[in-house]
Amino acid sequence: MYFEHITAEDLPIVPPMDLNSNLPDIDKISPFPMQLKTRRGVGLFGTRREADSGLIRMHEAVDLLAPVGTPVFAASTGTVIGGSSTSCLISHDHGIKYLTFYQHMQNKLVNNNDNVTAGQQIAEVGGTQDHLHFEIRFPFDNARPSLGNSLPVDPTNVLYQWEVRTFQNDDDARQVIDDVSITNIQEIWRGRLLRFFLVNVSSTGRDLFLPLIDSSPANLSMLETLKLAFFNSKRVRIVWRESLFFSTIQVTQDKVSIIAEVKVLLN
Ligand SMILES: [Zn+2]
């Protein structure tokens, strides 16, 4: 298989854990990634200042909150090529080669050279951590891929794209608010990295957050439609669902649902 142009969003990645599993009480921990510095070692992809040393360091992963014992899944079909008793490095080849890396685990079920399939359990969340540290990387040396000799990419949008694809095929998860007007739209930031489009909708008691990490033409067109509807006072029909993925990285301080996908129909 060949790809003329491939981005990380195109990778056949599934979530490395069951996003429906019972999450810890996130209200007691920290409502937003911005405040995760109060919980050392948990966060989003990107630079962050270490609480103890004050040094700015790169966090090459997204941390998915989950109780100890939550099953950890291989995010894609591949071969185990490394790791310790608490971590696992898997190599994947789907026309291009990439790696996934999992850390803070216990009861590991796989060994080096084992072949694994996407969604297969490889361990549990564990040790002293209540989150899975999950990385996606592109190796510089395809013959000898390794953690050090590879480039990390942000797993956030990759996992979000999985959710968008899943949503498109899941009628049960759909919720519809029909014939409403948009009372306000606003771009907001959560942490330094996550941009959202906040849509206030009349008479529903619910505001909608759209992640702005998705720069696909379909998503940008949808945002434009929302803006046009707002500025021209058009009533809309919105199809949405709550995001499983974003609930695991704590962006629901105001009990506001995160949207996986929206369709707006001008009346
Ligand atoms: Zn981490």
Quick: pLDDT tens for 50-71. 777 878 888 898 888 778 888 9
Question: Model-level pTM greater than 0.85?
Answer: no
- Tokens representing 261? 């996908």
Q: How far apart are alpha carbons 258 and 210 in whole angstroms?
A: 6
Better pLDDT: 121 or 228: 121
Q: Ligand 1 mean position to 121 CA, how many Å? A: 20
Q: Ligand 1 mean position to 166 CA, how many Å? A: 25
Report how far Cα 183 is from the mean position of its chain's Cα atoms: 28
Residues with CB under 5 A from ligand 1 (ion): 61, 63, 133
| Average pLDDT, integer, range 257-266 | 60
Q: Ligand 1 mean position to 197 CA, how many Å? A: 26
Give domain limits for the chain: 8-24+66-153, 167-258
Q: How far apart are alpha carbons 61 and 136 in whole angstroms?
A: 7
Q: Ligand 1 mean position to 2 CA, how many Å? A: 32
Q: Are 177 and 226 spatial neighbours (Cβ–Cβ below 8 Å)?
A: no
The answer to whether residue 144 scores a pLDDT higher than 50 is: yes
Q: Ligand 1 mean position to 63 CA, how many Å? A: 5
Q: Ligand 1 mean position to 240 CA, how many Å? A: 30
User: Please, what is the average pLDDT of the chain?
Assistant: 78
The answer to whether residue 255 scores a pLDDT higher than 60 is: no
- CATH code of the region 167-258: 2.40.50
- 3-state SS class at 168: helix
Helices in 84-186 by DSSP H: which ranges? 155-168
How wide is the angle at C-alpha 124 spanned by C-alphas 49 and 36, nearest 5°?
20
| Average pLDDT, integer, range 219-247 | 81
Q: Please give the pLDDT value at position 164.
A: 77
Better pLDDT: 71 or 223: 71
Right CATH for 8-24+66-153 from 3.30.1330.60, 2.70.70.10, 2.102.10.10, 2.40.10.10: 2.70.70.10
Domains 8-24+66-153 and 167-258 share a fold: no
Q: Ligand 1 mean position to 66 CA, how many Å? A: 13
Q: Ligand 1 mean position to 43 CA, how many Å? A: 6
